[in-house]
Amino acid sequence: MTGPIRVVLAGASGRTGREVGKAILESPDMELVGAIGHRQAGKSVDAIWPGVKSEIIITRELPLCDYPAILVDFTEPGSAFQRVLEAAAQGWHVVIGTTGFTADQIDMMARQVADHGVGGALIANFSLGAWLLERLVKEAAQYFTDAELVEAHHPHKRDRPSGTAKRIASTLASSWGKPDDEIPVHAMRLPGMVAHQAVIFGAPGQILTVRHDVHDRSAYTTGALQAIRHIDRFPGRLIQDLGELVEH
């Protein structure tokens, strides 16, 4: 891409969207050109993001642009699904942090990305620590044969278990030749939590715990920015591994 990377952010009024949006505004190689948020539609970005200067007006729908942009979506699957399909049809790359999609919805988004030759990223967790957790779990699974997952999030998170926990369970299941649903996952939704994942391996005489904790949503910004910068290198693909983006 030449010039700043133009970004439209869906989820501007949400907690994670706000942190990612601020990071986009602070990035010299990016330009925030649109913001979507149902609860705060009609307000300017700087009215709901303390400490930033931006006169962009938050809308309810995907804005009309006479140039390609990247849709970054941190919302919920009900609205995100159609928005992603629409953006890809317009020739936009899509970076999706929304979780809770059905398998059929993921397949349809992958086909849409492929049909229109745009890059797509569907990442359950943009924090680098969570990505490293997955790598450590995969390594540990070579030496242990039993494990259970415990995930805890804030009460407003709708999907249960989380997308990250499902992905880790799938990693373990693949390593051990089991169906995903044979990996026990315990989910908690409690005040005071942000995002917490723990994988507990057990063997005779020992326990190994691999854990990652997010205490502030700024943890997601580095991975999200990396995805925005590199997504154009994957035309026609829906990437679901953050490692492909951060290591590229």
pLDDT in tens, 15-25: 899 999 999 99
Q: Architecture of domain 5-122+218-246 in CATH?
A: 3-Layer(aba) Sandwich (3.40)
Q: How many CB atoms lie within 10 A of CB 246?
A: 17
Q: Which helix (H) or strand (E) holds 92?
A: none
Q: Residue 72 pLDDT more than 70?
A: yes
Residue 122: band (very low, low, confident or very high) from pLDDT cuts 50, 70, 90? very high
Kindly list the distances between the CA atom of residue 66 and the CA atoms of 55, 63, 76, 107, 113, in Å, as whole numbers in the listed order: 19, 10, 27, 28, 20
pTM of the shown model: 0.88
Catalytically active residues are: 153, 157
pLDDT in tens, 157-213: 888 999 899 999 999 999 999 999 999 999 999 999 999 999 999 999 999 999 999
Is residue 11 part of an annotated ligand binding site?
yes
Is residue 145 part of an annotated ligand binding site?
no
Asked if 119 and 93 touch (Cβ cutoff 8 Å), the reply is yes
Is residue 98 part of an annotated ligand binding site?
yes
Domain 128-215 listed as CATH 3.40.30.10: no
Map out the domains of the chain as residue ranges. Answer: 5-122+218-246, 128-215
Q: Residue 1 pLDDT more than 60?
A: no
Question: Rounded mean pLDDT of 221-247?
Answer: 95
Is residue 99 part of an annotated ligand binding site?
yes
Residue 207 and residue 169: Cα distance in Å, rounded?
A: 18
